[in-house]
Amino acid sequence: MTVDPVTVEIIRNALAAAAEDMNATLIRSAYTPVIYECGDCVVALLDERHRVLGQSAGLPIFLGNLEACTLATEQRFGREVWQPGDVWILNDSYLGGTHLNDVTIFGPVFAEQELAGFTATRAHWIDVGSKDPGGSMDSVTIFQEGLRLGPQKLVAAGQPVPGVLDTISTNVRFPYPTSGDLHAMIATINTGQQRLAEIVDRFGLAAVRAAREEIFAQTERLERAVVAAIPDGVYRAEGCLDNDGIDLATPIPVRLTITVSGDHMEFDLTESADQTEGPINCGAAQAVSACRVGYKLLVSPDVPGNGGSFRPMSVRVREGSVFGARPPAACQWYFSHLGLLIDLVAMALAPVLPERVAAASHGDSMIVQCSGTDPRTGREYVSLEATLGGWGAWQGSDGESALINNVNGSLKDMPIEVLETRFPLRITHYGMRPDSGGPGRWRGGNGVIREYVALHDCTLSLWFERSVTPAWGLFGGGGAQPPEVVVNPGRPDERRVLKVNGLRLHAGDVVRCMTGGGGGYGDPAEREGLAVLADIRDGVVTPEHAATVYPHADRAEQPEWQVDTVPDPVY
């Protein structure tokens, strides 16, 4: 059967809109802010062969890993396991790829008496019963990370399977919002089922299938044309995570080899580190997703993803490595090496895609967590923040300063006014970190300095990464400064830390967090003198630093106004 191009385009839009509707349903009905504010979720509509018909991701890192869940279920139980009215749940890291907090709910869609496809959604649950509330920074086995569900039927023929919900409720710390999120996710897959059924109803299953093949073919053609234009060759890049959070002395190498051959490219991760004791491992499905993000950033940033996407690429993962974790490897911080991997894709392909790539970014979430009891209210609190950093420059533009890392999507920082109202903390400085971006004809963006003062005793945990491999430059551009955290700067008890779990802070203690910048692009000697002058006037680059890295530029003019630098802490 062939379908005319108008119908194909209407079906293409309808499938994309169905995914948007699912996403809107999830955001609207979720109970916890991590879903409806941070968008830590994804939805997808799949065909009967587990290929994406439409999807909407809140986090890029979730790109295309829902099909792994329906496929794993089918491989385990056989195709006949799919029955109308059933809903399934899965959060196994080794199948789904991410940490146990990311729970996937999915179900089959039947139309015209046959299996027409699946709808699926994944969202972050605030707690799944790990040894510490919400998750731990120092788990060494998945058994410390919470309840692990393989593919498990949750609803059978429209009726809840007895006992499953109770099992979940008794294993998580916040059963009320968790069950709310679970029901929101079920509502989401129901919306998807309804929309897909409506589309099949309107156009007929045969027409939808024919249109689908044409839609996939269009996407594949677009992507193959881009890949085919990349010269054949073997492209490598590598970098290191600082450590696994347990053995702080041993860096963890991440090695990527991309082989381009005609209109196909293979991503080989097999030379990367063995899985680690600390929680920085992920399942292979998530490694595939990260490679897809790197690929998409360079090949098809504007093309909506579907079953035709990613056909020109494949991924090789070694089981037992940090990218192919085997039980019982810990997976709680599954994303730090994925962020690095995404930057490495651009580094590897830079020689042949100079106009599409960018230099590296600061690269990780840079987590600051404080907890204690607020003396103003007597209530316990936990403040959890990701910290912004600099992004890499590209051909024609400086990198952006103070931006969230790739893996966190569209997350915003916490306003000082909100933080200080809610928690017994004070921010004494929040601003750009001058000179932290790499120099270049186009310079990297700056990281930030965010300085906290504890107004009362509390406990601090940190996860700052990428000091061993800070953001690198490209084409002669310089590298960026790495992250630094100084506790009590200038005091006798000053100490530097990057990862720490449960450090006691006393009233008046100061924590100065500095994130890395992005890499520069092109030879700094080619940077326009006026641009250097503007950077000095904006306080982006200090005159001293400019004298070192841009000796050709005229720095006669000093900033007219004193730049807002880190002051002495206010108590």
Contact 451, 430 (CB under 8 A): yes
Choice between 273 and 536, CB closer to another protein: 536
Alpha helices in 172-316 (DSSP H): 175-203, 205-228, 284-299
Q: Is 291 in the site for another protein (CB under 8 A)?
A: no
Beta strand segments in 37-170, E: 41-47, 52-57, 87-90, 102-111, 114-124, 152-156, 159-160
How far is the C-alpha of 200 from the C-alpha of 195, rounded, in Å? 9
How far is the C-alpha of 26 from the C-alpha of 43, rounded, in Å? 9
Give the residue, chosen from 160, 431, 476, 508, that forms a contact with another protein under the rule CB under 8 A.
431
DSSP 3-state percent helix, strand, coil across the chain (nearest 5): 30, 25, 45
**CB 30 → another protein: shortest distance, Å?**
8
Q: Is 10 in the site for another protein (CB under 8 A)?
A: yes
233-241 and 252-261 strand pairing: antiparallel
Give the residue, chosen from 248, 416, 468, 497, that forms a contact with another protein under the rule CB under 8 A.
416
Among 93-101, 277-285, 413-421, 491-499, the segment contacting another protein (CB under 8 A): 413-421
Q: Is 354 in the site for another protein (CB under 8 A)?
A: no
**What Cα–Cα distance (Å) separates residue 447 from each residue in 198, 344, 477, 540?**
48, 20, 17, 10
Give the residue, chosen from 182, 344, 366, 432, that forms a contact with another protein under the rule CB under 8 A.
432
Give the residue, chosen from 129, 150, 160, 180, that forms a contact with another protein under the rule CB under 8 A.
180
Contact 93, 148 (CB under 8 A): yes
CA angle 60, 63, 68 (to 5 degrees): 150
Choice between 76 and 202, CB closer to another protein: 202
Q: Binding marks (x or -) toward another protein, 185..224, rule CB under 8 A? A: --x---x----------------------xx-xxx-xx--
How far is the C-alpha of 394 from the C-alpha of 443, rounded, in Å? 9
How far is the C-alpha of 243 from the C-alpha of 252, rounded, in Å? 6
Q: Is 538 in the site for another protein (CB under 8 A)?
A: yes
Choice between 72 and 536, CB closer to another protein: 536
Contact 494, 487 (CB under 8 A): yes
Residue type, 354: P
Residue type, 90: L
Among 22-30, 104-112, 226-234, 503-511, the segment contacting another protein (CB under 8 A): 22-30
Restricted to residues 366-395, the positions that interact with another protein (CB under 8 A) are: 377, 388, 391, 394
Q: Is 42 in the site for another protein (CB under 8 A)?
A: no
Question: b/e per residue, 153-165, with b = 16+ CB within 10 A?
Answer: bbbeeeeebeebb
Q: Is 21 in the site for another protein (CB under 8 A)?
A: yes
Beta strand segments in 302-408, E: 313-316, 367-374, 379-386
Q: Determine the straight-line distance between the first and last CA of the chain, rounded to whole angstroms.
A: 75
Q: Binding marks (x or -) toward another protein, 504..523, rule CB under 8 A? A: --------------------
Choice between 320 and 351, CB closer to another protein: 351
Give the residue, chosen from 124, 148, 296, 512, that forms a contact with another protein under the rule CB under 8 A.
296
Restricted to residues 58-87, the positions that interact with another protein (CB under 8 A) are: 59-60
Choice between 92 and 181, CB closer to another protein: 181
Give the residue, chosen from 420, 486, 523, 531, that forms a contact with another protein under the rule CB under 8 A.
420
Q: Is 570 in the site for another protein (CB under 8 A)?
A: yes
Number of residues that bind another protein (CB under 8 A): 91
Q: Is 360 in the site for another protein (CB under 8 A)?
A: no
Q: Binding marks (x or -) toward another protein, 547..566, rule CB under 8 A? A: ------------xxxx-x--
Give the residue, chosen from 78, 158, 301, 492, that forms a contact with another protein under the rule CB under 8 A.
301
Restricted to residues 110-169, the positions that interact with another protein (CB under 8 A) are: none
